Amino acid sequence: MNLEKELPLWSVVAEGKAIARKFVFADFKQAFEFMTLSAQYAEQMNHHPDWSNSWNTVTVQLSTHSEGHLTKLDVELAKAMDVFAAKAMNTN
């Protein structure tokens, strides 16, 4: 898995056991739209992010806790979140 190529905007953290990204939006509405789209997808996958929100910023960390490391689920969710971020940024 070549994470740098597949997910260039994400960083490997937690001694290689997680990936993280900070999403910055124009406003709270865009951040909330991103979180809503991401939450719906994560629920369908039954794979949920660790994240926090402060006004226009959403900080995300992904790891498969049951496995204790990164899995394909994390990569799939990260790729989807990148798409959802772009979609949210193009609304208003």
Identify the CATH number of the domain in which residue 84 sits. 3.30.1360.20
Inter-CA distances, 15 with 11, 68, 70, Å: 11, 11, 11
Report how far residue 18's alpha carbon sits from residue 74's, in angstroms, rounded to the nearest whole number: 8
- The predicted model scores a pTM of 0.94
pLDDT in tens, 20-52: 999 999 999 999 999 999 999 999 999 999 999
- Considering its fold, how many domains does the chain have in total? 1
- Cβ pair 38, 84 in contact under 8 A: yes
* Domain extent at residue 38: 3-89
